[in-house]
Amino acid sequence: MKKDFTPTLLDFGPVHIYVARHLGFCYGVENAIEISFRTIEKNPGKRIFLLSEMIHNPQVNAELQSRGVKFLQDTYGKELITFNELNADDIVIIPAFGTTLEIESKLNDIGIRTEKYNTTCPFVEKVWNRSEQIAKKNYTVVVHGKPKHEETRATFSHAASNTPTVVVNDMQEAITLSKFINGEKPAGQFYETFKNQYSKGFDAEKDLQRIGVVNQTTMLASDTQAIADFLKQTMIEKYNLTEADIENHFADTRDTLCYATNDNQSAAVGMLETKADFAIVIGGYNSSNTSHLVELCEEKLPTYFINSDEKILSEREILHYDFHAKQEVLTSDYLTKNIPQRILITSGASCPDALVEDVIRKLTGFFPVSRSIEEMIEKMS
């Protein structure tokens, strides 16, 4: 059945809020949070560490820290607490994005049982399984993802344990990779161009003859599709392939985005068909899936990326994150003169619903609304 991606209208009278049909928390994140809090409850007196941020949500991470949990690494894998300080009695929770085989084995060597507190999302594991399947058929894995993102580092590590692997960040890098595939660029340059993005022992002459594309689950679906189509076309042209023998050089992986990313992105696209004054996207500033929602929205209308209702400073000013410049910026007069004011709202997979409600509460507080927020929020649930 075709899914309905039209937004839900919350008609407050002078302000109309259109909430994306699918938004916020996904299975993987809910599961990870639940396991983490359960682990804290069941293990009083034990030292509990999180390998890195549980999810890209500052409130959830702060709550975990306030209950005594410590982070071992920052989002980019930089050590905050050295592994030497750990002992076999400690608990280390693996976050939803999973981790690298190297880190897992380091922890296991200390005697820490990582499998017991592993919250790796099944949709991330699905990508690892897909990589393994194509590795068995001697394809090189091309990972479309952000090279420094925890999930991509984990996927890279799992794929690289089975087959040559290279990460491409975006279409620009896929185009560069295609030049190594079709010989436009000499193989010797590959190692400098893709520095820190290819597996040990990668042979640019031999390992780019059979490839398959998998992705970080939270990339923009249309980008991954475009990159896979482009690399497939590169193979078709290089080897004169027909649809019948394409599999000799290009594995059919289809996209490996998770359902939550897909639904949240499709719902954002559905929401954007509604004419509005501006959009608000709520989520952690380092959340990949949230920034892709921002990308979709900002193509159509003024978009403010915030991580809490507190960033809406007043009816005149909003402090929001420009993820291109990687900094917060202050915008004045973000509300327009239109009545009703039409506002689109969506949130990323690591954003609790309560935050969305807080944002709606804050915005509607600036208007003489005719309906209670509770009544409207009821409609949403």
Report, as residue numbers or ranges, the catalytic residues. 151
Choosing from 10, 35, 51, 121, the residue that interacts with ligand SF4 (CB under 6 A) is 121
Told to check if 262 binds ligand SF4 by CB under 6 A, we report no
Which residue is at the shortest CB distance from ligand SF4?
28
Decide if 99 contacts 150 (C-beta within 8 A): yes
d(CA 255, CA 121): 17
* Interacting span for ligand SF4 (CB under 6 A) from 22-30, 69-77, 276-284, 325-333: 22-30
Told to check if 260 binds ligand SF4 by CB under 6 A, we report yes
Told to check if 293 binds ligand SF4 by CB under 6 A, we report no
Pull the structure tokens for residue 268.
Answer: 């954002």
Task: Please give the size of the binding site for ligand SF4, defined by CB under 6 A.
Answer: 15
CB of 31 to ligand SF4, least distance (A): 8
Helix (H, G, I), strand (E, B) or coil at 318: strand
Told to check if 289 binds ligand SF4 by CB under 6 A, we report yes
DSSP label at residue 198: B
Told to check if 271 binds ligand SF4 by CB under 6 A, we report no
In terms of DSSP bridges, do strands 15-19 and 8-11 run parallel, antiparallel, or are they unpaired?
Answer: antiparallel
Burial of 282 from C-beta contacts in 10 A (0-12 / 13-18 / 19+): buried
Told to check if 37 binds ligand SF4 by CB under 6 A, we report no
Pull the structure tokens for residue 54.
Answer: 């549980």
d(CA 142, CA 154): 14
Told to check if 26 binds ligand SF4 by CB under 6 A, we report yes
Decide if 158 contacts 128 (C-beta within 8 A): yes
Q: To which residue do tokens 């993820």 refer?
A: 323
Q: What is the per-residue binding string for ligand SF4 in 47-86, x denoting contact by CB under 6 A?
A: ----------------------------------------
Told to check if 128 binds ligand SF4 by CB under 6 A, we report no
For ligand SF4, the binding residues (CB under 6 A) are 26-29, 96, 121, 123-124, 217-218, 258, 260-261, 289, 349
